[in-house]
Amino acid sequence: AQKITQTQPGMFVQEKEAVTLDCTYDTSDQSYGLFWYKQPSSGEMIFLIYQGSYDEQNATEGRYSLNFQKARKSANLVISASQLGDSAMYFCAMREGSSGTYKYIFGTGTRLKVLA
């Protein structure tokens, strides 16, 4: 069954350090997409980064990068130079499906706390 697993319920990181949030996925589809979203304490969902299953390069967006290891079925989010404003819940999500219809599966999330 298709599944997203985030094994770290909570993490701490010191300000200005890098942190990796883990995400593994399981799918039988060849075509899929992987997304990371941030949910601050205010509750909104903010898109961070996307990786397609056929993309050969790891995605990067500013301080965010996605460490995509297809054979291991992992799509870890790396945040460089952490800031206090990075404290939030982070969700990994997978878009699966083909033939013009697709659905999304989210992980259970990792709560990140950045320490001053």
Partner 1 sequence: EAQVTQNPRYLITVTGKKLTVTCSQNMNHEYMSWYRQDPGLGLRQIYYSMNVEVTDKGDVPEGYKVSRKEKRNFPLILESPSPNQTSLYFCASSFGNPNQPQHFGDGTRLSIL
- The contact set with partner 1 (CB under 8 A) reads 4, 6, 31, 33, 35, 37, 43-45, 47, 50, 52, 91, 93, 95, 97, 100-109
Listing DSSP states for 23-56 in one string gives: -EEE-S-SSEEEEEEEE-TT---EEEEEEETT--
Q: What is the closest distance, in whole angstroms, from the C-beta atom of residue 67 to partner 1 in the complex? A: 19
Minimum distance of partner 1 from residue 73's CB (angstroms): 18
Nearer to partner 1, 45 or 115 (CB): 45
Shortest distance, position 46 Cβ to partner 1, whole Å: 8
Q: Which is nearer to partner 1, 19 or 92 (CB)?
A: 92
Q: What is the DSSP letter of 84?
A: G
70 and 53 in contact (C-beta within 8 Å)? Answer: yes
The dihedrals phi and psi of 84, each to the nearest 5 degrees, come to -60, -35
